[in-house]
Chains A and B, each alone.
Chain A
Amino acid sequence: MLTLHCPYCGVDADETDLHAGGEAHLKREGPGASDVDFEDYLFMRENPKGVHFERWRHAYGCGKWFLAARCTNTLQVFGTYPAQTLEPPQEIKDKISAARPGWSWGNLT
């Protein structure tokens, strides 16, 4: 069972308290975007076996969206952080690098 720490209310929330929201750090392509970019934004997703960044909502709790870095292979959670950010905090990236040297995900390494 996945347990994630909600960065907003500070509790360790069980998977059943949460709602999964898909991939994190998507860059929205709006009017004026090329068809290829827009298709990427709408449909193309990472599907890694390993380090992954996801959006989660503390649905039964405070109702806030937050982001989580975890391993899809082992379910190891590297950390969670508030959603108001374009990329993961350095601290989380360091933790991932320590556990999974040479990891990459999308444009992130």
Chain B
Amino acid sequence: MSNAVSALQGKVAPGEVTIREAGLQGMIILRGDLADKKLRAVCTGISGVGFPAQGQANSEGKKGLCWMSPDEILVLVPYDEVAEAIAAIDKALTGTHYLAENVSDARAVLIVEGAFCREVIAKLAPVDLHPDTFKPGDFRRTRLGQVAAAFWMRDEDTFQVICFRSVAEYAFNLLAASAKAGQVGYFPS
């Protein structure tokens, strides 16, 4: 097997809010009937987290589940366990209408960490990120600047961002510039 590398190979932009490329992350797109018990069971079994409600993401370390659309879920597993996870999905869902695809190498994962990470994202995305509206666990697919991206809050001081690998550098630079420009102070802390 070839030697897999992530889009920016762990690049870091340190600062009050640090932007960090997360390195290799296993990602599986699973489309199907999200109400199906077998699908839910295999997802929670693989990721070890609860099945997310609409617009939510549950994550624990390198594992997690993100609600992408009414018929699509993103399964996060460690990079080395993707083949195993897809085999488990195939086994569980044989005979039903579904699609499971390994997209690990097609996407990049960025971590935004720091006190005003909320504002770093809010400056770039057309999303209401007020602390009362967007809370840890909330997941949103939208755009960052000019590219499509998805993000959720892991906790009060951490956002995890997923974008296409081809635009990873743009997204990284964008977030780094937003962090460097500093806090706006709009949200009550």
Chain B residues packing against A (C-beta within 8 Å): 54-55, 68-70, 72, 126-128, 140-143, 148
Contact = CB atoms under 8 A, between A and B. Distances in A.
Contacts of A12: 128
Contact of A11 (B72, B140, B143): B140
A8 interface: yes
A61 B70 contact: no
B69 A8 contact: yes
Contacts, number: 38
Contacts of B70: 8-9, 62, 64
By DSSP majority rule, is chain B's interface helix, strand, loop, or mixed? strand
B34 to A, nearest CB: 12
Contacts of A62: 68-70, 72, 141
B148 A9 contact: no
Which bracket fits the contact residues of A?
A: 10 to 19
Contacts of B141: 9, 60-62
Contacts of B54: 9-10
14 contacts: A9-B55, A9-B69, A9-B70, A11-B55, A13-B126, A13-B142, A14-B126, A16-B126, A16-B143, A60-B142, A60-B148, A61-B141, A62-B68, A64-B70
A63 interface: yes
A83 to B, nearest CB: 12
Contacts of A94: none
A66 to B, nearest CB: 11
A64 B141 CA distance: 12
A62 B54 CA distance: 11
Interface in A7-51: 8-14, 16-17
